[in-house]
Chains A and B, each alone.
Chain A
């Protein structure tokens, strides 16, 4: 059974005149110890998804319908008090900017001890011992001295390590990391990604990594979900998606990367922009930018089909599959790309 399963989740921002829908019918699951990446550009709804999993949506945003089940327990109906047993202890979150996440007026050690003692009955000295152990575990040099220091005395990479240590203190079963390395330099990013992967493997923790960077995804995740305008458009094993993207948006996103064009040549751009929430296109949200769009795409929303590589929501793929007869091979014409 999967550890976390999300079914038909709809998130809406309630406005005075209209409701703006941010997530449409999102369903996926994460099994124990699995590393999943959620990829998309800004405005795709990937962070909103992350926040709604831990009930941190801020005010006008509400879960309109759908369910989030953790270990068989429904999360969307929990009270604030019940959430305190789950958030941090079972499902932990790492945010993008480590300076904003840490409290600047408390020393690193105080914040760590506070985190342990608010969830478990343990005396200060034992908590301190545990905290220093975890600091060493995330490869921070001289952990006993770092325990006394304040966040401003640490560099960005070091702060993100401290946050990973805090998250690990309570032995969560899932870590949700929202762009954990975006604020860091590449040489530091490589170290943090390797650390995240390793601590998840060591402790059997599942990881949901939210990012915009396919390079980061390829290093860490086993399975990938691609989001566009509040919907999942493609999900499947990471390597398959990177090597053989099915959805036109995933293809466009990967093709737009500078590595995919010859040096000095024009990049393959996707025309247009991600639609705004109040201007959501009818049918498939990607159709205004899609090179394969037909009238069917403009009117209906595609469902998921399994393409043989990944699960895709796209009529072009669906039609192609419909022409495929497992007995007699291809019925339609084979098109070259």
Chain B
């Protein structure tokens, strides 16, 4: 057995081979530790091949597609890395229900049936009632609606679920307390422990899909991945009816950013992280956004990614009025949804627009 006491730098190739010899898709902290170790970097091709096979077996020759719909960029939080930070001065935008429906129409016309509603912490406007009303009006057009918004209480999540919202994505951003404190200066999000309890609230409300993740670049990715694995394992065991998925938002070097401040994750290590998580969690959804480049995304759908966004606009109103507002982050893969679907087909995979049905939820 591998020792949990080992630092990832002390993992040897023997430990990696042992980890690769365990049943594919089964988790143990020792296994994840071995697969994300520097020693495992020499095994990337084998890890990728195993991840490819396992994903093929569990998900078939398919890749799901979704689109984000940004509702508001008003925010009460001061997260240092975020474009919507409350201290940034720029014209803020909120979409009325009618505005949001107009945006959703554009998204639906592109073929999407899986919609992710996104908002910064703007409780006053993007309230539970607002989301419930919007969801009920979106249901005829979308087979799956989920949210990536500020943290709520269990009862509030339950109301969203009853209104037809079946999944919640909420990142811890970083599992390292000191790093968390450093980047989350003010606002409700500054409370680390409260944030950590969010996936429990989401599951207790009956949500089917729980998306977790860290903002890659804030801290050492190896430690973050281990924490993510433990968090997912805990959630899967405790809330056995909810499905856990991982996302991989990655900070990219930008012009005016002091590079020494961040732990930028290389493409190589991103591949290592994705394949390691797949080899530990056979059935987890692995989600990739348009933050990543077209070239990289084309490769990653072959080695474990099961769901991608396409044609995303990351500012409220961005679909109807492109280039009018400040984006939360800059997107890299600017291809249209059609182009992304064609790319998926060219890999011998089927782009899946619908893998859920609004009829699952009463209403």
| B and A form one assembly | no
Interface residues of A (CB under 8 A from B): none
Contact residues of B with A, CB < 8 Å?
none
